[in-house]
């Protein structure tokens, strides 16, 4: 079983092979996803919402992300593991970004980090790459900027923003990013960006012309029910299955049906 690398992702784009990406936040899901054939596992700062119950991704800390990354990395044998750098772990200074990105690779065992933002992050991206830290970019809807945007609406719909996104994507590629996440932008724009780059794009809510796709695993499995974005395809209604199972468990205990004689020791 060959480990997926940043170079292999680029080769996949050149061959026209679609890249399969999914989030994971714990060892159990990471192991299942890896065994099932996922190419890239993103330990997303979305853990703040789907694991910790916050309304945005902003509250999660470096220490919390290092914990999630560490337990995911230990479980993964094949997929490339990428750590989402949390809010204010890379924006304050390039030195902060180096220190924190280095911690992800040294302490948690991930293979790369993801950084939100375009031209304003170029010096940071370039420096990290020069130091041997692979960087994935993230353009379009960048959740850490939700308060600036004022909503989770589609980005890049007007010509000015679309042109800036195209420019930022090329600048990130030139700075050494090995891939770029394109989140919630028009499908036509995502296709234009994807065809203009030599590095792969990973879409989320950005149409079929990206070189790969990523979803939050709890969304794809129907486990997170607070909202369902239009771009999410649910392959399971896991929340309902778990709720039904727990109700049966409650009923069996209260009726005396569990544990049975076979489930007890003599």
Write out the catalytic residue numbers. Answer: 183
CB 227 within 8 A of CB 242: no
Closest CA to 210 of 232, 187, 233: 187
- Burial (CB < 10 A; 0-12, 13-18, 19+), residue 56, is middle
Kindly give, in sequence order, each residue whose CB lies less than 8 Å from that of residue 52, ignoring residues fewer than 6 positions away: 59, 60, 64
Q: CA-to-CA distance for 218 and 221, rounded, in angstroms? A: 5
The pair of structure tokens assigned to 247 is: 């109700």
* Direct distance between the N- and C-terminal alpha carbons of the chain, in angstroms, rounded to an integer: 45
Burial of 87-116, coded b for 16+ CB within 10 Å and e otherwise, reads bebbbeeeeebbebbebbbeebbbbbbbbb
Tallying the residues shown for the chain, one arrives at: 266
Distance CA 37, CA 1 (A): 11
SS3 per-residue string spanning 180-193: EEEECCCHHHHHHH
């Amino acid at each position: 079983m060959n480990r997926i690398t940043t170079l292999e992702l680029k080769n996949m784009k050149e061959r026209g092979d679609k890249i399969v990406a999914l989030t994971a936040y714990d060892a159990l899901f990471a192991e299942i996803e890896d065994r099932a054939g996922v190419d890239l596992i993103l330990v997303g700062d979305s853990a703040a919402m789907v694991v910790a119950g916050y309304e945005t991704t902003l509250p999660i800390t470096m220490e919390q992300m290092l914990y999630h990354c560490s337990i995911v990395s230990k479980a993964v044998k094949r997929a490339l593991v990428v750590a989402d750098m949390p809010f204010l772990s890379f924006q304050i200074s390039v030195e902060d970004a180096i220190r924190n990105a280095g911690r992800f690779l040294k302490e948690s065992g991930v293979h790369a980090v993801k950084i939100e933002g375009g031209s304003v992050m170029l010096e940071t991206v370039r420096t990290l790459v020069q130091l041997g830290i692979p960087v994935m970019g993230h353009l379009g809807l960048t959740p850490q900027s939700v308060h600036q945007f004022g909503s989770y609406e589609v980005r890049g719909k007007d010509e000015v923003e679309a042109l800036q996104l195209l420019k930022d994507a090329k600048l990130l590629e030139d700075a050494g990013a090995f891939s770029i996440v394109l989140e919630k932008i028009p499908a036509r724009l995502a296709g234009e960006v994807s065809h203009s780059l030599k590095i792969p794009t990973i879409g989320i809510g950005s149409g079929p012309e990206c070189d790969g796709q990523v979803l939050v695993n709890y969304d794809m499995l129907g486990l997170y029910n607070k909202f369902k974005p239009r771009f999410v395809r649910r392959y399971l209604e896991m929340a309902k299955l778990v709720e039904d199972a727990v109700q049966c468990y409650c009923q069996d205990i209260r009726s005396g049906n569990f544990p049975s004689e076979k489930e007890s020791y003599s």
